[in-house]
Amino acid sequence: MHPVDFLVVGGGVAGLRAAIGLAASGRVLVLTKAEPAESNTGYAQGGIAAAFGDDDTPALHAADTVRAGDGLCDESAVAVLVEEGPPDVRELLAWGARFDLGADGRPALGREAAHSVRRVLHAGDATGREIGRVLWERVSGLATAETIDHVLATEIIVEDGRARGLRYFDAAGASHEVRAGATLLATGGAGRVFRETTNPAVATGDGIALAIHAGARVADLEFVQFHPTALNLAGAPRFLISEALRGEGARLVNGRGDAFMLRRHPDGDLAPRDVVARGIVRESEETGAPVFLTLAHLDAGYVRARFPTIAAMCAQVGLDLARDPIPVGPAAHYMMGGVDTDEWGRTSLPGLFAAGEVACTGVHGANRLASNSLLEGLVFGARAAVAMQQPARGAALKADRIIADGSSLIAPAVDGGDDRPDAIRHQPSALDSEAVRDVMWRNAGLFRSREGLTDAVHALDGAGAAAPPATADEWRQHNLRTVAYAIARAALRREESRGGHFRADFPRRDDARWQVHIVDARGDA
Ligand code: SIN
């Protein structure tokens, strides 16, 4: 493969927006893992948050984002998000994004949990698909951009302390190398590290594994958001039942039909996601019955017209969204942590950039505000494109981050008698991907404890010790175990509860010890 100026790994909103920004300055290669539309972007239902309303301002959006982030948002990254968000969304509209409009012809704004005003622009309940459509159309028209799909990225090429491109397998299983002046990881999320997830099959955290193996810093990996309302029906996929439904008045009820969330939080059904997710599990345990979302009190025609995708998915499993109680439960949804970057997408490794869900700017803190993810991809994808055209340099470590015990991130210490949480005993892992997902869901999911996390870490800790992978399938398993291990270990280390990270053995937030982003790095990145 000929060298390119810019390599973009991932075909979601962050990668595509970056490709558009880069195309005037050189040759761009976009690598995607599956079909072009198959990314977390394409599955985003609720919408894209931006301060468009007359009652809204970027400052109010920032305040909601910071409150949801539970004391851990990087406020400079938040300022970038909320201030650059509205102009970037306007640009998307100018490029042809068809969002739903209100009677005044302006974008209609939806409501979601923890937003103090209506702020969510949407295209029915398939907003991500619409944004992906607009961006793909634009990328397809760029003379300097090329796309290769069905690619499995395996290794960043690192030479003389900087990233020089990537190794990957193509759809036929042949391995390739492409050299690039600047490489962007826009590989999306890692929900598939858990058994129950709203994410598509491609969301296995590849970018995090690539960065770890290349020696780049990763941060905040313990912070995984579990969405409260995935479909919870035996044998059916855990597809997302958007929070926007609750924004429009849908209610969570227990098996007896009682609305229970107000008993658990003053904001009721629109409490923060982590609170609702745990509330559902506890209610279900206490009543011995599943929890349901009901829209039966709303106008059925409106429900079907406003949420056609979700209604169609429900119909496929024999449920009428507008009339039937819909069984729901939590599932892994979004990764707040990721590859540590500055506000321009620079990682600690010169020449390597990251944007979107794979990155950790700190913008979401410990818990992402609903519908800030598409916005993040748009804003930080555009910014990464700017930085990728500048001379390569690594991002400095921000003042609110501490480096933790990085040497054992991949190959854990062999240690006999020490029972500190960080002292991990080595047992080569033979877990296949399904077993990894089971272990992570059971032990590193919604409710965590030292005991469960230690079990998970022990089960996974051969991830770095196994023989180097050779085939695409071995790489897939290797990378999944690497990401799972890194998440479990980060969760074991943080002995408090904050945002998406809930430790049953440390149920309180502890700012004195833990109001800090924890960064792992292999080597001296
Ligand atoms: C949803 O529609 O509930 C999910 C949107 C998001 O994760 O922000």
pLDDT at residue 411 in the model: 41
CA dist 72 and 506 (Å) reads 17
More confidently predicted of 406 and 122: 122
- Looking at the fold, whether 321 and 466 belong to one and the same domain comes out as no
Residue from 373, 374, 376 whose mutation best tests the ligand 1 pocket (most atoms within 8 A of CB): 373
Q: Is residue 75 part of a domain?
A: yes
Q: Token pair for residue 236?
A: 């059916």
Query: Which residue type does 257 have?
Result: G
Q: Give the atom of ligand 1 at the shortest distance from the alpha carbon of 49.
A: 8
Residue from 243, 245, 373 whose mutation best tests the ligand 1 pocket (most atoms within 8 A of CB): 243
pLDDT at residue 46 in the model: 76
Q: Give the atom of ligand 1 at the shortest distance from the alpha carbon of 125.
A: 2
Coil, helix or strand at residue 118: coil
Q: Which residue has a Cα nearest atom 1 of ligand 1? A: 242
- Looking at the fold, whether 102 and 218 belong to one and the same domain comes out as yes
Q: Which of 369, 363, 402 is nearest to 490 (CA)?
A: 402
Classify strands 175-185 and 352-354 as parallel, antiparallel or unpaired: parallel
Residue whose pair of structure tokens reads 């044998």 in the numeric block: 235
Q: Is residue 121 part of a domain?
A: yes
CATH number of the domain that residue 287 is part of: 3.90.700.10
Q: Is the pLDDT of residue 261 over 60?
A: yes
Contact status, residue 265 vs residue 279, Cβ threshold 8 Å: yes
Report, as residue numbers or ranges, the catalytic residues: 273
Ramachandran category for residue 163: left, alpha or beta (phi over 0 → left; psi -120 to 50 → alpha): beta
Q: Token pair for residue 329?
A: 């439960």
Q: Give the atom of ligand 1 at the shortest distance from the alpha carbon of 225.
A: 7
Classify strands 517-520 and 218-219 as parallel, antiparallel or unpaired: antiparallel
Q: Which of 197, 273, 294 is nearest to 240 (CA)?
A: 197
Ligand 1 centroid – CA 373 distance (Å):
8
Ligand 1 centroid – CA 374 distance (Å):
10
Residue from 39, 127, 227, 248 whose mutation best tests the ligand 1 pocket (most atoms within 8 A of CB): 227
Q: Where are the beta strands (DSSP E) in 264-409?
A: 291-294, 326-335, 338-340, 352-354, 359-360, 401-403
Residue 339 phi, psi dihedral angles, 5° rounding: -80, 125
- Looking at the fold, whether 456 and 514 belong to one and the same domain comes out as yes
Q: Is residue 183 part of a domain?
A: no
- Looking at the fold, whether 499 and 411 belong to one and the same domain comes out as yes
Ligand 1 centroid – CA 470 distance (Å):
37
Residue 373 near ligand 1, beta carbon < 6 Å: yes
pLDDT, tens only, 356-399? 999 999 999 999 999 999 999 999 999 999 999 999 999 999 98
Ramachandran category for residue 367: left, alpha or beta (phi over 0 → left; psi -120 to 50 → alpha): beta
Q: Give the atom of ligand 1 at the shortest distance from the alpha carbon of 369.
A: 8
pLDDT at residue 420 in the model: 37
Specify the number of domains making up the chain: 2
Residue 371 near ligand 1, beta carbon < 6 Å: yes
pLDDT at residue 400 in the model: 87
Query: Which positions ≥6 away from 263 have C-beta within 8 Å?
Result: none
Q: How confident is the model at residue 521 (pLDDT cuts 50, 70, 90)?
A: confident
Q: How confident is the model at residue 522 (pLDDT cuts 50, 70, 90)?
A: confident
CA dist 302 and 300 (Å) reads 5
Ligand 1 centroid – CA 241 distance (Å):
9
Contact status, residue 186 vs residue 339, Cβ threshold 8 Å: no
Report the percent of the chain where pLDDT is more than 90: 84
Q: Is the pLDDT of residue 426 over 70?
A: no
Coil, helix or strand at residue 440: helix
Q: Is the pLDDT of residue 412 over 60?
A: no
Query: Which positions ≥6 away from 470 have C-beta within 8 Å?
Result: none
CA dist 79 and 73 (Å) reads 10
Q: Is the pLDDT of residue 418 over 60?
A: no
Residue 40 near ligand 1, beta carbon < 6 Å: no
CA dist 482 and 502 (Å) reads 22
Other beta carbons within 10 angstroms of residue 323's beta carbon come to: 13
pTM, two decimal places: 0.93
Residue 46 near ligand 1, beta carbon < 6 Å: yes
Ligand 1 centroid – CA 372 distance (Å):
9
Residue 376 near ligand 1, beta carbon < 6 Å: no
Q: Is residue 264 part of a domain?
A: yes
Q: Token pair for residue 296?
A: 């039966």
Q: Is residue 149 part of a domain?
A: yes
pLDDT at residue 523 in the model: 57
Q: Is residue 138 part of a domain?
A: yes
Q: Among residues 331, 354, 387, which one ends one of the domains? A: 331
Q: Among residues 331, 359, 383, which one ends one of the domains? A: 331
Residue 45 near ligand 1, beta carbon < 6 Å: yes
Task: State the virtual CA torsion across 394, 398, 403, 407 in degrees, nearest 10.
Answer: -10
Residue 243 near ligand 1, beta carbon < 6 Å: yes
Q: Which residue has a Cα nearest atom 5 of ligand 1? A: 46
CA dist 206 and 20 (Å) reads 23
- Looking at the fold, whether 196 and 254 belong to one and the same domain comes out as no
Query: Which positions ≥6 away from 374 have C-beta within 8 Å?
Result: 13, 41, 44, 47, 48, 127, 128, 131
CATH number of the domain that residue 364 is part of: 3.50.50.60
Q: Is residue 401 part of a domain?
A: no
Q: Give the atom of ligand 1 at the shortest distance from the alpha carbon of 46.
A: 2
CA dist 455 and 297 (Å) reads 45
Residue 65 near ligand 1, beta carbon < 6 Å: no
Ligand 1 centroid – CA 371 distance (Å):
6
Q: Among residues 279, 302, 331, which one ends one of the domains? A: 331
pLDDT, tens only, 142-175? 999 999 999 999 999 999 999 999 999 999 999 9
Name the residue range of residue 307's domain: 229-331
CA dist 506 and 482 (Å) reads 26
- Looking at the fold, whether 308 and 438 belong to one and the same domain comes out as no
- Looking at the fold, whether 213 and 255 belong to one and the same domain comes out as no
Helices (DSSP H) in 28-111: which residue ranges? 40-43, 58-68, 75-94
Residue from 229, 242, 245 whose mutation best tests the ligand 1 pocket (most atoms within 8 A of CB): 242
Ligand 1 centroid – CA 44 distance (Å):
6
Ligand 1 centroid – CA 81 distance (Å):
17
pLDDT at residue 404 in the model: 81
Q: Which of 61, 52, 48 is nearest to 104 (CA)?
A: 52
pLDDT at residue 467 in the model: 66
Q: Is the pLDDT of residue 212 over 50?
A: yes
Residue 21 CA to chain centroid, in angstroms?
23
CA dist 26 and 4 (Å) reads 8
- Looking at the fold, whether 207 and 233 belong to one and the same domain comes out as no
- Looking at the fold, whether 203 and 321 belong to one and the same domain comes out as no
Interior CA angle at 161 toward 157 and 163, to 5°? 35
- Looking at the fold, whether 247 and 279 belong to one and the same domain comes out as yes
Residue whose pair of structure tokens reads 């345990």 in the numeric block: 285
Provide the β-strand partners of residue 104: none
Specify the range with the lowest mean pLDDT, choosing from 114-128, 333-347, 454-468, 472-486: 454-468
Query: Which positions ≥6 away from 161 have C-beta within 8 Å?
Result: 349, 350
Q: Is residue 385 part of a domain?
A: yes
Going by the DSSP 8-state scheme, the letter that residue 372 receives in this structure is: -
Ligand 1 centroid – CA 344 distance (Å):
25
- Looking at the fold, whether 340 and 274 belong to one and the same domain comes out as no
Helices (DSSP H) in 288-405: which residue ranges? 300-306, 308-316, 373-388
Residue 367 near ligand 1, beta carbon < 6 Å: no
Task: State the virtual CA torsion across 511, 516, 518, 519 in degrees, nearest 10.
Answer: 180
Residue 51 near ligand 1, beta carbon < 6 Å: no
CA dist 435 and 413 (Å) reads 23
pLDDT, tens only, 429-483? 568 899 999 999 999 999 999 999 999 999 988 655 556 789 999 999 999 999 9
- Looking at the fold, whether 219 and 368 belong to one and the same domain comes out as yes
Residue 233 near ligand 1, beta carbon < 6 Å: no
Provide the β-strand partners of residue 9: 31, 185
